[in-house]
Amino acid sequence: MFRYIIRRLIQMIPLLIGISILVFLLVHLSPGDPIRMLLGEEATGEDVARLNAVYGFDQPLPTQYFRWATRAIKGDLGVSIRQTIPVNTLIFERLGATLELAIVSVLIAISLGIPIGIFAATRRGSLWDYLSMIVSLIGVSMPGFWLGLMLLSYVALKVDWLPMFGRDASVLNGLWVLVTQFRADVLLNALRYVLLPATALGVSMMAIIARLTRSSLLEVLGKDYIRTAQAKGLKHRVVVIKHGLRNALLPVITIVGIQFGSMLGGAVVTETVFAWPGVGRLVVNAISQRDFPIVQGGVLMMAIIFTFVNLLVDISYALVNPRIRYD
C-alpha cells in the first residue's frame, strides 16, 4: 500500500506542473492589459510600462512562468494588483470558508441522500419509490445557484432567524466553543449562516447519492447471501442495513469523493449568490477586476485541492479493493 501511495504521489508531479502551466497561460493569454485597467485611460505609456516592470509583466512569458512557479512552490503566489495584499493571505483567509461550505454540503447530501435511497429501494415500484426518484432527478437537473436564489427569496426572506448573506463564525470555531466552554450559541450562529448555501450546493449531490444508493442497494438485495440472511429468519431491517447497505455503500463512498471536487467548482457560484466570503467569490470578483495574481492563485489552489481529494479517493478505494494497487 505504501508503494502504491508513493507511486501515485510521483505520478502527480507532472500533473501539477501541467496544472500550473495551464493556469498561468489561461491568465496571461487573456486580452486586455491589467495595468492599463488599474491605472485608467489617462495614465501615460510610461506609467503603464513602469508598473508592468514592477509586476514583471514586461518579461517574456517563459521567464514570467518560471519566476511565478518557483515562488508558488515556496508558497508565494504574488501580490494582488488591486488590493496590494499577498495573494496567499487573501486565499488562506477564505479557504476555510470554502472548505466549510463544501464539507457541510457533503454532510447534508449524505445524511439526506442515503436514507432517501434506502427508502426508495426498500419500497421498489411503490408510489414513494417513484416520488423520491422524481425528486432526485429534479435535484440532479437543478443548477445549485438557482436553488440558492430560490432559497433566498422563499425561505430566508420569510424565516427571520435565517440570514440572507455572509458568514459569521466558523462551524469549527463553534464546535471548539461547544467542547471547551459548553456553549452552543457560536455553533448555532455559524450553522444559521451556512445552512442555506450548503443546502443549495448539496442538493444535486444528495440527488446523485440517493439514486446511486437505491440502484446499488437493489443490486445487493438481489444477491444470494441476502436470501440466505432472510431465510435465517433475520428481521428485514437487519438484512437491509447490516447485510445490504454495508455492501451497497462502496460505490456511494467513491461518488462522494468524486463529487466533493465538483462541489468546489459549484461553490464558486454559490458563494457569489450568498456573498459567502470564500475563495470562489474572491476569484469571481478578481476576474471582473482583472486582478491576475488572485485569479491565478485561486484557480491553482482549487485545482490542487481537487487533485489531492481525487488522490485520497483513489487511495481509500485501493485500501478497500486490493486489486487496484497492482494495476
Whether residue 187 contacts residue 100, with contact meaning beta carbons closer than 8 Å, is answered with no
Q: Binding another protein by CB under 8 A: which of 35, 104, 152, 208?
A: 152
Does 256 participate in binding another protein (rule CB under 8 A)? no
Instruction: Establish how many alpha carbons lie within 13 A of residue 232's alpha carbon, considering only the half-sphere containing its beta carbon.
Output: 12
Nearer to another protein, 150 or 184 (CB): 150
- Least distance in Å: CB of 219 to another protein? 8
Answer for the pair 274, 165: CB distance below 8 angstroms, yes or no: yes
Binding-residue pattern over the window 292 to 321 for another protein, x denoting contact by CB under 8 A: ---x---x--xx--xx--x-----------
Distance between first and last Cα of the chain: 12
Q: Which of 2, 3, 13, 32 binds another protein (CB under 8 A)?
A: 32
Among 4, 5, 8, 15, binds another protein (CB under 8 A): 15
SS3 (DSSP) at 163: coil
Considering the complex, state which of residue 119 and residue 176 has its C-beta at the smaller distance from another protein: 119
Residue 217 contacts another protein per CB under 8 A: no
Instruction: Please list every residue from 59 through 118 that binds another protein, using CB under 8 A.
Output: none
Closest CA to 267 of 95, 92, 98: 98
68, 113, 145, 217: residue in contact with another protein (rule CB under 8 A):
145
User: Is 141 one of the binding residues for another protein (CB under 8 A)?
Assistant: yes
- At 274, list the grid cell: 450568498
The CA distance from 53 to 39, in Å, is 14
Question: Half-sphere exposure (CA, 13 Å, Cβ side) for 47?
Answer: 11
**CA torsion angle 221 222 226 228 (round to 10):** 160
CB of residue 132 to another protein, shortest distance in Å: 15
Q: How far apart are CA 193 and CA 136, in angstroms?
A: 25
Going by the DSSP 8-state scheme, the letter that residue 326 receives in this structure is G
Binding footprint of another protein on the chain (CB under 8 A)? 14-15, 18-19, 22-23, 26-27, 29-32, 137-138, 140-143, 145-146, 149-150, 152-154, 157, 215, 218, 261-266, 268-269, 272-273, 280, 283-284, 287-288, 295, 299, 302-303, 306-307, 310
